[in-house]
Structure 1
Amino acid sequence: MIEKLISKLKNDPNYKLETSHSNRDLFAVAWVRFFQLIRGLFLKFFFKRSTGLVFAGTHVKVRHGYQISAGKNLIIDDNVSINALSTNGITIGDNVSIARDSILFCTGVIAHRGAGITIGDRTGIGARAFLAGQGGITIGNDVITGPNIQVFSENHNFDNLTQTIKEQGVTKQAVIIGNNCWLGGGITILAGVMLGDGCVVAAGSVVNKSFPANSIIAGVPAKLIKSREAL
């Protein structure tokens, strides 16, 4: 029954539980999801748009929810903080999950209104993610992310030695992550980076430049290791 329910929610007739679970395990999962659904029903009331179910964990904080558009079956885990204040708001596709302790925000200081964040269908944001969408972040469909990723889309200017860095303002540059990418745990993606479809980023990498589709990259700073097309 649980398998059929998940299959229907995900609109995936081929969905299967790959391992067997006891009735106790399944009851515990269903129990948590039930209360997440109750909290989500209250939360989605504050969204600009929500076309399906919202599952919300405990201690979820959402500010400027009227700038959030969500698709079907959004899961927001415990302790997630979302601040959608921005020009374009936050747009989230179908069947997206945002794991616990993640932070999504679009405006750093009120004087510099940010651009926003877009997350595509079936993408999973790992635990403790930090998505700073001042210059705009776009994440494609079917993207997998490990825990502790950081994505920045704004930099402080520091060229003028006669002024404090704080006084010199910021430069905003959008980050674009293509479809079907795998972003390893603990990676950092800096402002202005574009990753093509199908890229794989090794855990702990610092990505400070763009890479074409199907690149396998690793290192600090990240370098091209090989192309998936050559495998």
Structure 2
Amino acid sequence: MVRSLLERFLSHSKGLDYRIAPEVGTLELLSLAMRQGVALTRGLFFRRQMVFLEPGVTFRSSARISVGRFSKIGRGCLIEGLSENGIEIGRGVSLGRYGRMRATATLNDLGIGVKIGDFVGMGDNFYLGAFGGIEIGAETIIGERLTIHSDNHDFDDTATAIRLQGTTKLPVRIGTRCWLGSNITILGGVTVGDDCVIGAGAVVTKSFPRGSIIVGNPARVVRNRFANSQKDEPSPDLTFSS
């Protein structure tokens, strides 16, 4: 009974046909259900929404933050909504523990904000610096310790401290249905096309088209998933980690 109810709920909330492995025992399922029930209760109390909030989640400028139904925000996350467009988190999104979203550092120049599509999954300890704006497309999955910086400090004037020279907004967009491994850094002005794969530890400093498999520091393309001419070639020895 418990298994069936959880499978139905998870299938609805995650937008897929979800089946719990038979090795998971009834007591484990009850423990999971209790934890998720407490997180849902917290979401209903603090957000008046069907969202799962783990302990220690902090919203700042909460009126500028929207969270879709059945999304989960992990323990210790800090989400700062102060920005032109606010923070928009889609339906069924899962955000890992101890992450931070931040768009604005000073009150005299608001940042753009963040838009996350439906059913995005993001690992622990992420940092989204969204001064220039960040968009992550639906159904993208992301490993631990993603860092995105959508701006750059100006530094051309050697007679003036860099902190006084201002910042340039450089929007970042990650397409739909991508897979990003762990420990990835994405710098300002980058667009990653739909259906891309980025290997663990990559530092992405430029844009890449749809279907690119990207590795390294600085990141480069090793092949394209949709290139017919390379369809029968063996895959390179790559390491990816979620």
Q: Percent identity?
A: 39
The total of aligned residue pairs comes to 224
Please state if 1:43 is matched with 2:40.
Answer: no
Residue from 190, 193, 207 that aligns with 2:204: 207
Residue from 20, 23, 26 that aligns with 1:20: 23
TM normalised by structure 1 equals 0.93
TM normalised by structure 2 equals 0.89
**Which secondary structure does the structure 1 equivalent of 2:222 belong to?**
strand
Please state if 1:219 is matched with 2:216.
Answer: yes
Match of 1:178 in 2: 175
Residue from 9, 17, 22 that aligns with 2:13: 9
Question: d(CA) in 2 for partners of 1:20 and 1:179?
Answer: 33
Unaligned residue ranges in structure 2 (runs of 5+) = 232-242
CA shift, 1:129, in A, is 0.4
Question: d(CA) in 2 for partners of 1:57 and 1:159?
Answer: 44
CA shift, 1:42, in A, is 2.0
Pairs within 5 Å for 1:162-201: 162-201=159-198
Pairs within 5 Å for 1:1-231: 1-12=5-16, 14-45=17-48, 53-229=50-226, 230-231=230-231
Q: What amino acid sits opposite 2:176 in the alignment? A: N
Runs of 4+ in 1 over 4 A off after TM superposition: none
**Which secondary structure does the structure 1 equivalent of 2:163 belong to?**
helix
Match of 1:48 in 2: none
Question: d(CA) in 2 for partners of 1:131 and 1:19?
Answer: 37
CA shift, 1:56, in A, is 0.3
Question: d(CA) in 2 for partners of 1:124 and 1:9?
Answer: 13
Question: d(CA) in 2 for partners of 1:170 and 1:19?
Answer: 53
Question: d(CA) in 1 for partners of 2:44 and 2:191?
Answer: 35
**Which secondary structure does the structure 1 equivalent of 2:182 belong to?**
coil
